[in-house]
Every structure is written in structure tokens, then in C-alpha cells.
């Protein structure tokens, strides 16, 4: 009898190709903010980093970001300001050259300035060389500031560097707002303020773009909405029109706009999604406000953490333009080596040291948590991305790159509802196998996608190939109250999982037991296992793998699907002999039988 081997890697199951329809309903963009780029020469001159940022290695971080963006191939890159350390002319020139590299790979780039970028008196260049607004506009002319070939329906604000337009080949329109404060001579303002005339221009552009059938989103450096309790008091300069309700350079009392007025203006303009930076935190915040008619309108602000600050975030957004909705938001940390050390280790140490020195350990811990915490747990199937800390995560973001519409293997570590996935893909669960075929059952709308179960996934025929992100709720029974981990004095609610698909390492919380992962094996930790400490447990994972040699191909049968009976080269499915954790119990597999820790056979 042929067998199907349990393996510890995720392989592609190759089957017959499908026809696909190219549509542009989904538009995928990447967002970065606050790279604070210095030239290598200026970085080497610095005696120390500033503000918890990795200023001295900003060229290394940005080079890795460029590499990551080019590999991801989004339909556009949006940069939310603070391109440079302190507005250095040399830094801007280096940034423009790097962005040109990205555009050369066919990825449009759109930028807005940040408060560090224009007329900054603290430039590290010789003689304090910085750039004026006109020079910024010229330097970044190809990236939204000038006559840009990537945008249609272009408009520009008369009193700022704000611009608006629709991204060619998509139904996504973007309004880039310049809310920075600068005059005719170098003066540094951390605060942001939008003039009333700019707000009126924004509202008119949003209406005009919607009339053309476009979904309208906005990007601006400063934030509109509080993300942290007390932000409007303790970090007033991070919020638009908070300290300055009229522009401090040329504003009048008649032009005064408060932050509350500004929120109402966004509601009137029907701009639901706003992309920001500046505060160097990574967070999403919703706020329901009243428009001028007294109707409720929900604003969603996605602020992207500083690229130069731990943990060096980049964000990927997928917009469902026909439905004017954000389909998904996925976050990626920059991963690279700096000498022999990991960037993430250096980055966290820098932020923690700075925060401890300036604010004390309690606030430092809060800053680190705010920067490292994401709203949802992220799985990247087939890659080395596992990010989940000790928190309660009600939702999972699952990201996968589909190169075709054929069946591929699937692994998920939590029970989730298939209804959350059904709009993008079909999933089939393993049913049975014999000498000739593997039988899978197609999931229906109300079915459960079970964890640690052999499954297949494929992109729906009507969708174009590419990267998709699915948001799915974790089944309540998987949100268990777990025991203390790594010196914690009180139980946490949620999971602890660190590591990668292959060569797992770190801690894993499962069914109220703390497990340590090393070289692909689980070991119980401390006395949580009540006497079983030190037992090695094989991870309970199932995968299909291609056969080697001349093994005949099995027939792949998907029950509930009549159009796809495709051959799949495979060796069969079997349980690997060893020790497993199944439903929180130690299970020993011998041959085709299962036994518990007491040696009793279980079914």
C-alpha cells in the first residue's frame, strides 16, 4: 500500500492550470513612514542615535526595506513623510535615488513631506544645507509632487504641497496632505496644522474623485485621532490642529480650525481611511464622529510605525474599491543582520534604553508594547513569519501569495470559520486515502476550518493571482486562559508562539500547558505538565509532499466540486510514530494505534 508521509515543510501541490480573469477590484499598496534617512557619511558623524531611532544605521534599514518592497511588488508604495533625519539635502538626494530604484521595478511611489523634511535648521549637512518647499516639490516631482505619470485626475493645493489623484489602472484615489509648518526661513515645528483653504480643497477633490467612481483614501504625516490615552495632552504635537488651530505662519482668526472641526470635515468629505505616521507607533484606531448633517461617520486611521524605530514596521493594505472597504491590513517587520547581530535585537535595545532613560521603566515598557503590538495575529503560510506575543488575539490575518488558481497545501494552527475565507478561496479538508486516490471534502459556508488538519486551498477562478490577506476569527475554545510564562506572576489570556515553520524555537502555550520549542520538538516546561516535565513531544502537523522516484500520481478527488479531478504526486498520508499533543493530552503513536501517557489505547 502506498503511503502519504507526514513532513515538516509546506510544499506546493501541482495540478492542472485554471483560466483566470484579470480584474482590478482589489488594489494592494505598501505603506512606510518615518525612514529618517541619513547618508552613510552623515550617519558616521553622529555620536549617538536620537529619540530611540536607529539613525546611525538608517541607510542599512532603508536598503533592506527597498529590497522587501521590490520583492513584494505592490501596486504602489506610499511614504507618509519624514523622509530624512533632519531635512538634509544629501539625505533627500539619496532617498530620491532609492525611490527611483523602486519605480524602475514597475512600482509607483507617492510621497508626502513630514515635519523633519523642509526648512529644517538642524540639518547634519555641511553648512546646514536643507531644502525649501519648492526644492522638495522638484526633488519628489516623480513621486506625486509634480506632473506624475502614475496619477490621473491630478489636482494640487495652492497653499501647500498637498496633491490628489487616482492611481492609474485602479479605482483607488489618494489625497496626499501636507500639514507641516514651515515659513521662508528654517524653523522647526513638530506640530501639524491644516489650513481651512486646504481642507476645503480636500473636500472638493474627494467629491470629484468619487463622482469618477473612485474609492478615496488620504495620507498625511500627523495623526487625526488619539491612539493613546492622554495623547492630546502629553503628545499634543502628534495630533493635527491641536496646538495650532490656525497656521502659525500665515493664519488668521477666520481660518481657525480645531481638531474637532477637522474630524467633521473628513466626515463631510466621506474619507473613511486615513494613513499616518509621525508618532512612531504602529496602530489602527476607529472613531465615530458627526458630519455637518449630524449623521454618524466612522473614521479609520492606520498609523504606521517609524521604519527607523523598533520593530521597523512596513504595512500592506488591500483595498476593495467597488465596496469602498479596506479588505486587509498586514504588517511586516524589517529583518536583517547588522554585522553579526539581528536588527530586531538592536532596535528593541535602542528604544528601551532611550525610553528608560527619559521616561522610566514603566512608561518604557508601555512604549515598547505599543510599538510591538499589532491588532491581529499574522500567519504567512510557507514563510518564516510567526509573530504572536502574550496578548489576546481575537482575529488572525492569513497572508498567502497565489501564483495560480490550483490546489495547494494549507496549514493553520487555530480553528477558524470557513465563511471568513470563502470570498477569496476554496478549501477542502482531508477525508480518506486508498491506493489510488486522496479524497478531500469541499468546505461549505458554515463549516469549520480545523487546526492541525490536512487541507487544500486554492484561489477562486474569478480572482487574479497575487498576494491576498484574509481576516478570520479564532474559535472561542482556542482562546484559553494560560499559565504564567517566562517569570510572569499572573495568568495571561491568549497564546505565546514564536519561531518559524521549520526549526521552531521559543515558547508555545497550548491547552493550559507551557511548551518549549527547540529543533522542531516540543518540551514541557516547569511543573505545568504535572510530572511530565522534560517529555519530548513531536508537533502535530500534517502536510502533503510530492513523491520522489517513479511513484505513480494519486488522483485528487474533491467532494462537492465536480469540475476538478486532478492528479497530485504524493506518497499518501500517515501519522508519524512518536509523541504528540492532541487536544491538550500527551498521545503516543505506535503503528496505527494511539495511546495516552498511561499506556491506554485511545480512539
Q: Which residue has the cell 509634480?
A: 146
Q: Distance of CA 517 to CAs 137, 399, 438, 501, 582, Å?
A: 52, 24, 32, 11, 16
DSSP 321: G
The CB density around residue 520, as the number of other CB atoms within 10 Å, is 15
Of 376 and 180, the structure prediction assigns the larger pLDDT to 180
Tell me what pLDDT residue 342 has.
87
Instruction: Name 275's bridge partners.
Output: 219, 302
Q: Are 85 and 151 in contact (CB under 8 A)?
A: no
- pLDDT at position 592 is 61
pLDDT at 97: 96
The pLDDT of residue 365 is 54
Task: Give 115's contacts (C-beta < 8 A, 6+ positions apart).
Answer: 81, 82, 180, 181, 188, 189, 190, 191, 192, 221, 222, 278
Which residues pair with residue 73 across a beta bridge? none
End-to-end CA distance of the chain: 23
The per-residue pLDDT for 333 is 83
Give the least confident one: 233-247, 331-345, 581-595: 581-595
Q: Which residue has the cell 520549542?
A: 517
Angstrom CA distances, 592 to 106, 198, 370, 584, 598, stand at 54, 72, 48, 20, 18
Average pLDDT over residues 577-581: 48
- State the chain's mean pLDDT as an integer: 74
Burial class (CB in 10 A: 0-12, 13-18, 19+), 332: buried
pLDDT at 511: 34
Q: What is the predicted pLDDT for the residue at 91?
A: 95
State the Cα–Cα distance between residues 23 and 170, nearest whole angstrom. 9
Residue of higher predicted confidence among 475 and 383: 475
pLDDT digits (tens, 9 = 90+) for 423-440: 999 998 876 654 455 667
499 pLDDT tier (thresholds 50, 70, 90): very low
Residue 78 binned pLDDT confidence (cut-offs 50, 70, 90): very high
In this predicted structure, the answer to whether residue 399 has a pLDDT above a threshold of 70 is yes
pLDDT at 52: 84
With 50 as the cut, is the pLDDT of residue 149 above it?
Answer: yes
Q: DSSP 3-state assignment of 290?
A: strand
Separation of alpha carbons 247 and 482, rounded Å: 52
Q: Taking a C-beta distance cutoff of 8 angstroms, is the pair 305, 280 a contact?
A: yes
Sign of CA dihedral 84, 85, 91, 97: negative
| Beta-sheet strand order (sheet of 578-582) | 578-582, 585-590, 593-596, 601-602
Would you call 172 helix, strand, or coil by DSSP?
A: strand
Q: Work out the average pLDDT over 50-73.
A: 92
Task: Round to whole Å and give the CA distance between 279 and 82.
Answer: 11
Structure-block grid coordinates of residue 101: 530604484
pLDDT at residue 42 greater than cutoff 60: yes
Per-residue pLDDT at 597: 62
Tell which wins on pLDDT, 398 or 382. 398
**Which has the higher per-residue pLDDT, 47 or 78?**
78
Domains of the chain, by residue range, sit at 26-372, 390-476+543-568, 488-541+577-602
Encode 35-46 in three state secondary structure: CCECCHHHHHHC
Nearest by Cα to 406 from 564, 220, 261: 564
pLDDT of res. 453 = 64
Which segment, 380-389, 390-399, 438-447, 589-598, is predicted with the most confidence on average?
438-447
SS3 of 193-212: the string is CCCHHHHHHHHHHHHHHHHC
- How do residues 431-477 score in pLDDT, each as one tens digit? 665 445 566 788 988 898 876 566 778 889 888 888 787 877 765 44
Tell me, what's the pLDDT at 581?
A: 45
Backbone CA torsion sign across 551, 553, 555, 561: positive
What are the E-state strand segments in 334-454? 337-338, 341-342, 377-380, 385-391, 395-402, 408-410, 416-417, 425-433, 437-442, 448-449
- Other beta carbons within 10 angstroms of residue 68's beta carbon come to 17
- Assessment of whether the complete model's pTM goes beyond 0.75: no
pLDDT at residue 504 above 70?
Answer: no
pLDDT band of residue 414 (cuts 50, 70, 90) is low
3-state secondary structure of 306: strand
DSSP letter, residue 265: H
Q: Backbone phi, then psi, for 182, in 5-degree steps?
A: -155, 155
What topology does CATH give the domain 26-372? Purple Acid Phosphatase; chain A, domain 2 (3.60.21)
What is the model's pLDDT at position 475? 59
254-289 pLDDT per residue, tens? 889 999 999 999 999 999 999 999 998 888 888 999
For the segment 225-246, what is each residue's pLDDT rounded down to a tens digit?
998 767 888 788 999 999 999 9
Task: Report the percentage of the chain scoring pLDDT > 90.
Answer: 39
pLDDT > 80? residue 251: yes
Q: Is the pLDDT of residue 106 over 90?
A: yes
Amino acid at each position: 500500500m502506498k503511503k502519504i508521509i507526514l513532513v515538516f515543510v509546506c510544499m506546493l501541490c501541482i495540478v492542472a492550470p485554471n483560466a483566470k480573469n484579470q480584474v482590478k477590484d482589489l488594489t494592494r499598496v505598501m505603506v512606510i513612514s518615518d525612514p529618517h534617512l541619513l547618508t552613510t557619511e552623515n550617519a558616521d558623524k553622529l555620536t549617538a542615535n536620537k529619540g530611540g531611532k536607529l539613525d546611525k544605521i538608517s541607510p542599512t534599514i532603508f536598503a533592506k526595506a527597498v529590497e522587501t518592497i521590490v520583492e513584494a511588488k505592490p501596486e504602489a508604495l506610499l511614504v507618509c513623510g519624514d523622509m530624512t533625519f533632519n531635512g538634509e539635502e544629501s539625505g533627500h538626494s539619496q532617498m530620491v535615488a532609492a525611490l527611483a530604484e523602486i519605480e524602475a521595478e514597475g512600482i509607483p511611489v507617492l510621497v508626502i513631506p513630514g515635519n523633519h523634511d523642509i526648512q529644517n535648521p538642524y540639518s547634519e549637512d555641511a553648512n546646514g544645507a536643507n531644502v525649501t518647499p519648492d526644492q522638495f516639490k522638484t526633488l519628489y516631482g516623480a513621486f506625486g509632487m509634480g506632473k506624475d505619470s502614475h496619477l490621473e485626475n491630478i489636482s494640487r493645493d495652492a497653499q501647500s504641497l498637498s496633491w490628489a489623484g487616482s492611481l492609474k489602472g485602479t479605482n483607488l484615489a489618494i489625497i496626499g496632505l501636507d500639514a507641516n509648518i514651515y515659513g521662508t526661513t528654517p524653523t522647526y515645528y513638530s506640530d501639524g496644522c491644516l489650513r481651512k483653504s486646504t481642507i476645503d480643497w480636500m473636500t472638493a477633490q474627494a467629491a470629484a474623485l468619487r463622482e469618477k467612481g473612485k474609492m478615496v483614501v488620504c495620507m498625511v504625516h500627523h495623526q487625526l485621532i488619539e491612539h493613546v490615552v492622554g495623547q492630546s495632552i502629553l503628545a499634543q504635537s502628534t495630533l493635527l490642529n491641536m496646538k495650532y488651530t490656525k497656521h502659525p505662519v500665515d493664519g488668521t482668526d477666520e481660518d481657525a480650525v480645531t481638531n474637532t472641526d477637522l474630524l467633521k470635515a473628513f466626515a463631510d468629505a466621506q474619507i473613511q481611511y486615513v494613513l499616518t505616521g509621525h508618532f512612531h507607533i504602529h496602530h489602527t484606531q476607529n472613531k465615530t464622529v458627526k458630519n455637518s448633517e449630524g449623521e454618524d461617520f466612522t473614521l479609520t486611521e492606520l498609523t504606521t510605525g517609524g521604519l527607523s524605530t523598533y520593530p521597523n514596521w512596513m504595512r500592506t493594505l488591500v483595498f476593495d474599491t467597488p465596496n469602498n472597504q479596506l479588505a486587509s491590513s498586514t504588517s511586516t517587520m524589517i529583518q536583517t543582520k547588522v554585522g553579526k547581530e539581528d536588527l530586531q535585537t538592536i532596535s528593541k535595545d535602542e528604544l528601551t534604553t532611550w525610553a528608560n532613560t527619559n521616561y522610566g521603566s514603566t512608561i518604557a515598557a508601555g512604549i515598547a508594547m505599543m510599538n510591538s503590538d499589532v491588532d491581529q495575529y499574522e500567519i504567512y503560510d510557507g514563510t518564516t513569519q510567526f509573530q504572536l506575543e502574550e496578548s489576546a488575539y481575537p482575529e488572525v490575518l492569513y497572508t498567502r501569495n497565489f501564483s495560480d488558481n490550483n490546489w495547494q497545501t494549507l496549514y493553520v494552527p487555530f480553528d477558524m470559520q470557513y465563511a471568513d475565507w470563502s470570498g477569496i478561496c476554496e478549501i477542502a479538508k482531508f477525508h480518506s486515502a486508498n491506493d489510488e486516490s486522496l479524497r478531500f471534502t469541499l468546505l461549505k459556508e458554515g463549516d469549520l476550518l480545523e487546526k492541525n488538519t490536512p487541507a487544500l486551498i486554492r484561489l477562486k477562478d474569478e480572482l487574479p493571482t497575487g498576494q491576498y490577506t484574509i481576516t478570520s476569527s479564532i474559535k472561542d475554545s482556542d482562546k484559553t486562559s494560560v499559565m504564567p510564562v517566562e517569570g510572569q506572576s499572573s495568568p495571561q489570556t491568549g497564546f505565546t508562539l514564536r519561531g518559524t515553520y521549520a526549526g521552531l524555537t521559543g515558547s508555545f502555550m497550548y491547552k493550559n500547558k507551557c511548551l518549549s520549542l527547540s529543533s522542531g520538538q516540543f518540551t514541557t516546561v516547569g511543573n505545568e505538565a504535572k510530572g511530565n516535565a522534560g517529555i519530548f513531544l513531536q508537533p502535530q502537523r500534517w502536510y502533503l509532499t510530492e513523491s520522489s522516484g517513479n511513484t505513480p500520481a494519486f488522483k485528487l478527488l474533491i467532494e462537492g466540486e465536480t469540475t476538478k479531478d486532478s492528479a497530485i504526486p504524493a506518497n499518501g498520508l500517515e501519522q508519524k510514530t512518536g509523541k504528540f499533543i492532541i487536544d491538550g493530552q500527551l498521545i503516543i503513536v505506535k503503528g496505527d494505534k494511539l495511546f495516552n501517557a498511561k499506556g491506554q489505547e485511545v480512539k
